[in-house]
């Protein structure tokens, strides 16, 4: 990963790596006015760094959707645990918030911790990317951490790489990362029978061709064909590698921040925060063209 800022060619705009295990900040960019040449630079930086941060944006929902669509078609937002589906008129926008209006939560995940996960990996074709835009941020807490799943794969001992080659993992569709039951789903806590979708445990990124462990989320995960005890033991081993702090980079949010991440080679988690403060984020999900492949 390059450590020095890179000029992108547009006046004053630079790509500045975080210096951590992943991520770069794109400085001096107005996402409402990105031409094709500059978009190609952003795309390249995203593939190199897995995650991009853009600060001081002033985007309407329509502008957030328009920028997201530069990367591909958008998936509709999942149903929130309150039963609300999406922002009126914008089915692509998922609201992540602890704010309650007229007794109803306006978004998902509340103010609690969200555990490590990859967005919507319980789908046959999960979104390749997510974009999270901060409208309101709490003064402290609610930081989001992202990790580098290429580096997690590369750090595995050769023997462990051999053991997981060709295996498939069930990604749970029962609970979201905040521990809330998804709408319309019956609570099941047996990983062997819980609803979910199988994906290869090691996937090759269709664009970079690099390999990554694809874990999705820990709860109700199950490695097909193994006994539950064998599956749990292998998953524990893999999660020890994947969730190491040195593979992660954390972001403290300010209003106007937008983070774009690649769901095919990262996971993320969020700290809890004071429920009395407000945190309002709008997220889009960019549809992948292909299902995860080994
Ligand atoms: C998410 O999991 O997409 C939301 C993360 C966050 O609230 O920071």
Reported as a single tens digit per residue, the pLDDT across 100-118 is 998 889 999 999 999 999 9
Q: What pLDDT is recorded for position 63?
A: 98
pLDDT digit string, tens, across residues 64-110: 999 999 999 999 988 777 777 778 899 999 999 999 998 889 999 99
For the stretch 144-194, pLDDT in tens is 999 999 999 999 999 999 999 999 999 988 877 777 787 777 887 888 888
Give the Cβ contact number of residue 104 at 10 Å.
Answer: 11
Give the tens place of pLDDT for each residue, 110-156. 999 999 999 999 999 999 999 999 999 999 999 999 999 999 999 99
Compute the average pLDDT of residues 218-240.
97
Q: What is the mean pLDDT of the chain?
A: 92
What is the separation of C-alpha 252 from the centre of its chain, rounded to a whole number of angstroms?
16
Does the Cβ of 109 fall within 6 Å of ligand 1?
A: yes
pLDDT in tens, 239-290: 999 999 999 999 999 999 999 999 999 999 999 999 999 999 999 999 999 9
Q: Would you say the CB of residue 147 lies under 6 angstroms from ligand 1?
A: no
Ligand 1 centre to CA of 282 (Å) is: 10
CA distance 271 to 273: 7
Half-sphere exposure of residue 1, counting CA atoms within 13 Å on the CB side? 21
Q: Is residue 201 part of a domain?
A: yes
Mean pLDDT within 221-228: 97
Q: What pLDDT is attached to residue 33?
A: 93
**Element housing 238 (H / E):** helix 228-242
Q: How remote is the CA of residue 136 from the centroid of ligand 1, in Å?
A: 13
Question: What length is written for the chain?
Answer: 294
Q: Which atom of ligand 1 is nearest to the CA of 143?
A: 8
Q: Is residue 68 part of a domain?
A: no
Give residue 209's domain range. Answer: 149-242
Identify the three-state secondary structure at position 167: coil
Please report which confidence band the pLDDT of residue 7 belongs to, taking 50, 70 and 90 as the band edges.
low
| Gap between the Cα atoms of 91 and 62, Å rounded | 11
Tokens 């709860």 found at: 219
Per-residue pLDDT band for 6 (boundaries 50, 70, 90) equals low
- Does 221 reside within a domain? yes
Q: In what order do the strands lie in the sheet with 222-223?
A: 196-200, 168-172, 222-223
Amino acid 2: pLDDT = 39
Ligand 1, atom 4, residue with closest C-alpha: 96
Cα atoms in the Cβ-side hemisphere of radius 13 Å centred on 250 = 12
CA 91 to CA 96: how far, in whole Å? 14
Give a yes or no: residue 86 inside a domain: no
Q: Quick check: CB of 257 below 6 Å from ligand 1?
A: no
CA-closest residue to ligand 1 atom 3: 119
- 131 with 284: CB under 8 angstroms? yes
**Per-residue confidence (pLDDT) for residue 1, from 0 to 100:** 39
209 is a domain residue: yes
pLDDT tens-digit readout, 194-204: 889 999 999 99
Q: Look at residue 274 and tell me if it is in a domain.
A: no
pLDDT value for 8: 54
Residue 9 has pLDDT above 90, yes or no: no
172 falls within a domain: yes
Q: Where are the alpha helices (DSSP H) in the chain?
A: 36-49, 61-69, 149-154, 158-164, 228-242
Rounded CA gap, 223 and 239, in Å? 13
Q: Please tell me the pTM assigned to this model.
A: 0.92
* Model pLDDT for residues 18-30, shown as the tens digit of each residue: 999 999 999 989 9
Q: Is 175 contained in some domain?
A: yes
C-alpha–C-alpha distance, residues 5 and 217, integer Å: 34
Pick the closest to residue 239 from 261, 213, 264, 220 (CA basis).
213
Q: Are residues 93 and 79 in contact, defined by beta-carbon separation less than 8 angstroms?
A: no
Query: Which structure tokens are listed for 43?
Result: 């795309």
How many domains is the chain built from? 1
Ligand 1 binding pocket includes 96 (Cβ within 6 Å): yes
Dihedral sign computed on CA atoms, order 254, 92, 203, 188 = positive
Instruction: Round to whole Å and give the CA distance between 274 and 140.
Output: 8
Q: Ligand 1 pocket check: which of 53, 131, 270 to mutate, most ligand atoms within 8 Å of Cβ?
A: 270
Structure tokens at 185: 């789903």
At residue 18's C-alpha, the angle toward residues 15 and 21, to 5°, is: 125
Distance, in Å, from the CA atom of 3 to the CA atom of 1, rounded to the nearest integer, reads 6
Among 137, 144, 261, 275, say which to mutate for ligand 1: greatest number of ligand atoms within 8 Å of CB.
Answer: 144
């Amino acid at each position: 990963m390059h450590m020095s800022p890179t000029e992108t060619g547009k006046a004053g705009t630079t790509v500045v790596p975080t210096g951590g295990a992943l991520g770069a900040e794109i400085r001096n960019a107005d996402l409402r006015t990105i031409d094709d040449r500059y978009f190609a630079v952003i795309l390249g930086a995203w593939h190199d760094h897995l995650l991009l941060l853009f600060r001081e944006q002033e985007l309407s929902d329509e502008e957030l959707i328009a920028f997201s669509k530069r990367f591909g078609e958008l998936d509709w937002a999942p149903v929130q645990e309150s039963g609300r589906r999406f922002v009126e008129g914008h089915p692509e926008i998922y609201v992540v918030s602890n704010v309650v209006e007229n007794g109803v939560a306006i978004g998902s995940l509340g103010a609690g911790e969200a555990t490590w996960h990859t967005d919507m990996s319980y789908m046959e074709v999960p979104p390749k990317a997510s974009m999270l835009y901060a409208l309101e941020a709490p003064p402290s807490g609610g930081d989001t951490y992202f990790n580098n799943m290429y580096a997690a794969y590369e750090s595995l001992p050769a023997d462990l790489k051999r053991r997981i080659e060709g295996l498939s993992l069930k990604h749970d569709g029962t609970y979201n990362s905040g521990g809330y039951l998804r709408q319309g789903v019956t609570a099941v806590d047996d990983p062997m029978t819980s609803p979910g979708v199988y994906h290869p445990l090691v996937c090759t990124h269709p664009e970079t061709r690099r390999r990554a462990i694809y874990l999705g989320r820990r709860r109700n995960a199950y490695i097909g064909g193994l006994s539950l005890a064998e599956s749990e033991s292998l998953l524990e081993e893999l999660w020890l590698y994947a969730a190491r702090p040195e593979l992660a980079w954390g972001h403290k949010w300010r209003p106007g921040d937008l983070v774009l991440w690649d769901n095919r080679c990262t996971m993320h988690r969020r700290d809890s925060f004071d429920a009395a403060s407000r945190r309002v984020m709008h997220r889009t999900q960019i549809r992948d063209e292909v299902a995860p492949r080994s």
